[in-house]
Amino acid sequence: MTAPTIDLALDTDFEWCAQLMSTNDPWLTLGRDFETCLVRCRGPEFVVLLARNGEQRAGFLLLHPTGVAGSPYIAAIAVSAAARGQGVGSALLAAAERWFPAARHIFLCVSSFNTRAKKLYELRGYVQVGELPDYVIAGASEFIMHKRLERP
């Protein structure tokens, strides 16, 4: 399988990213509509990485440079349904982990009902370090996950 190419997203990619977000869980369950997602994707504070399979957009990742305790924070990651299970999500995570070469730590949050995504993060070395009960919606937690980045 060919690895996806990953680059900074352009302004013209943000509507596609917001559409992917707002039509998929966890954002559906968390009540994030298209407009809310678009504002987030356009947020000047974020680095937005876009993965492509050939010409086709396949997924994206929102990265805040200093979002948790001064370390990078992955605020969102999504892969289009047709491209899942082929390593695109893992490639986006790897790119985010390399994006700030001086960073020693990286964080993300995952919803308690998103068990498959949590499993992916654990396989990639992320460890749950906290839980925020009823954080976005009642009855669901956000798990805070941390990975220590190995640098040469």
Is residue 120 part of the contact set for ligand COA (CB under 6 A)?
yes
Closest distance to ligand COA from the beta carbon of 90 (Å): 3
C-alpha to C-alpha distance for 128 and 144, rounded to whole angstroms: 6
69 Rama sector, left if φ>0, alpha if ψ -120 to 50, beta otherwise: left
Residues 32-91 that bind ligand COA (CB under 6 A): 77-79, 84-90
Total binding residues toward ligand COA, as defined by CB under 6 A: 18
Residue closer to ligand COA by CB (options 72, 102) is 72
Please name the amino acid found at residue 120. Answer: L
Q: Are strands 105-111 and 71-79 parallel, antiparallel or unpaired?
A: parallel
For residue 13, the SS3 value is helix
Of the candidates 13, 15, 19, 24, which one interacts with ligand COA according to CB under 6 A?
Answer: 24
Contacts of 94 (CB under 8 A, 6+ apart): none
Identify which range of 6-14, 62-70, 116-124, 135-143 contacts ligand COA by CB under 6 A: 116-124
For residue 38, the SS3 value is helix
By CB under 6 A, name the binding residues for ligand COA.
Answer: 24, 26, 77-79, 84-90, 110, 114, 116-117, 119-120
